[in-house]
Amino acid sequence: MVTVSVCMIVKNEEECLGRCLKSLQGIVDEMIVVDTGSTDKTKEIAKECGAKVYDFKWTGDFSEARNYSFSLATCDYIYAADADEELDEENRQRFVKLKEDIEKLDIDIVQMYYCNQLSFRTVYNYDRELRPKLFKRVRHFVWEDPIHEQVSLEPVVCNSDIEIIHRPRENHAGRDLASFRKAVDDGRYLSKRLHNMYARELFMGGTDDDFIKAKEFFKKSACDTNRGVDEIKEASCVLAHVAVLEDDAPALLKYSLKDATTEMSSEMCYELGEYYYGKKDYDEAIIWFFNGAYECESVLDIKKSKELPRLALAKCYRALGNEEQAADYEREAAECEKGE
């Protein structure tokens, strides 16, 4: 059976770390916890659970900390875990079976299902998704093709049936948004993936101040000829929200038109609805909230096409004195929240 090192980076995780590590005891062979500056009992709990604990001075770069944790591993495979995750007994048994089976196969990466996303307002718009979680520590390269042979560079990836329960105890948007701002201030060009994640973080947990601070970055992004259609739509949604905050009608028109060059997003419809609601033009607001709920799709925040526009429709009809219609939309919103 192969051996597995668990590698984690943590900070002030005393509330959940013990639960995570105990769910891994007996099925992994080494637990490595890299602490980035805890001021609570995180390190003590890690040691009590049998983990090796190392200190790492926080630099604002999650990848740097992750890479350090991986460098300390000594087993055949590395399992990348977070403190707010856990495995139940059924999935512990699946993990053990995976360790038995993987020894017979030349697999570099194993993906597992990450579950419980929508319950905690994370940046993901789905409740269950495959993520790469288990990695071969030392990769063996092989030659392929009978002639003009070359080394195979693509990793061998398999999908497992293991489900990881995600139980975040708080929204990390403030911390993550600060990291995005630092990367931008340091002159880093955000990849398409990070551009998307920055916009998602803003809509999922950003404050008004976070949106204002992001304004200049997304203004440049909206005009960047190296950015694709998706990124321009994301930037337009962020800037439309800022325009509503600043009561800037010309800017709202500008970015809503950018969004409308392709199919309009639910986020943009929602911002237009909010603008007209703020002006007490409830009939116009209803049109846009309705479009967001029933005619368009979300690009960043799934709730902007589900319960949020329906709740907004309810407040519009209530402002117009139509309690029956308001109650109908509130019932629909509740059904959306339950996933019905």
Q: What is the 3-state secondary structure (H, E, C) of the chain?
A: CCCEEEEEEECCCCCCHHHHHHHHCCCCCEEEEEECCCCCCHHHHHHHCCCEEEECCCCCCHHHHHHHHHHCCCCCEEEECCCCEECCHHHHHHHHHHHHHHCCCCCCEEEEEEECCHHHCCCCCCCEEEEEEEEECCCCCCEECCCCCEECCCCCEEEEEEEEEECCCCCCHHHHHHHHHHHHHCCCCCCHHHHHHHHHHHHHHCCHHHHHHHHHHHHHHHCCCCCCHHHHHHHHHHHHHHHHHCCCHHHHHHHHHHHHCCCCEHHHHHHHHHHHHHCCCHHHHHHHHHHHHHHCECCCCHHHHCHHHHHHHHHHHHHCCCHHHHHHHHHHHHHHHCCC
Work out the pLDDT band at 143, boundaries 50, 70, 90.
confident
Burial of 163 (0-12, 13-18, 19+ CB in 10 A): middle
Evaluate if residue 123 carries a pLDDT over 70: no
Q: What percent of the chain stands above pLDDT 90? A: 82
Q: Which pLDDT tens digit goes with each residue over 41-77?
A: 999 999 999 999 999 999 888 899 999 999 999 999 9
State the pLDDT at residue 8: 97
Which range, 54-63, 126-135, 164-173, 212-221, is most confident? 212-221
What mean pLDDT do residues 191-202 have?
A: 95
In this prediction, residue 127 carries a pLDDT of: 63
According to the model, what pLDDT value does residue 17 have? 96
The proportion of the chain whose per-residue pLDDT surpasses 70, expressed as a percent, equals 96
For residue 121, pLDDT beyond 70: no
Structure confidence at residue 117 (pLDDT): 53
Q: What is the pLDDT of residue 3?
A: 97
In the predicted model, is pLDDT for residue 99 greater than 70?
Answer: yes
The arithmetic mean of pLDDT across residues 256-272, rounded, is: 96
Average pLDDT for 28-48: 97
pLDDT of residue 105: 86
Q: What is the pLDDT of residue 144?
A: 83
Across the chain, mean pLDDT equals 93
Domains of the chain (ranges; CATH) run: 4-166 (3.90.550.10), 173-337 (1.25.40.10)
Task: Determine the pLDDT at residue 219.
Answer: 98
Taking residues 175-197, report their average pLDDT.
92
| pLDDT value for 124 | 53
Phi (first) and psi of residue 254, to 5 degrees: -60, -50
pLDDT at 255 over 90: yes
Top pLDDT among 148 and 226 is at 226
Q: Is the pLDDT of residue 81 over 60?
A: yes
Q: How confident is the model at residue 190 (pLDDT cuts 50, 70, 90)?
A: very high
Nearest to 298 by CA among 334, 270, 258: 270
Task: Give pLDDT, residue 340.
Answer: 52
Mean pLDDT over residues 158-162, rounded? 94
**Which pLDDT score, from 0 to 100, does residue 198 have?**
96
Kindly tell me if the per-residue pLDDT of 314 is higher than 90.
Answer: yes
What is the per-residue pLDDT for 61? 87
Give the pLDDT mean for 301-315: 96
Q: How confident is the model at residue 167 (pLDDT cuts 50, 70, 90)?
A: confident
Best-predicted range by mean pLDDT among 120-134, 146-160, 212-226? 212-226
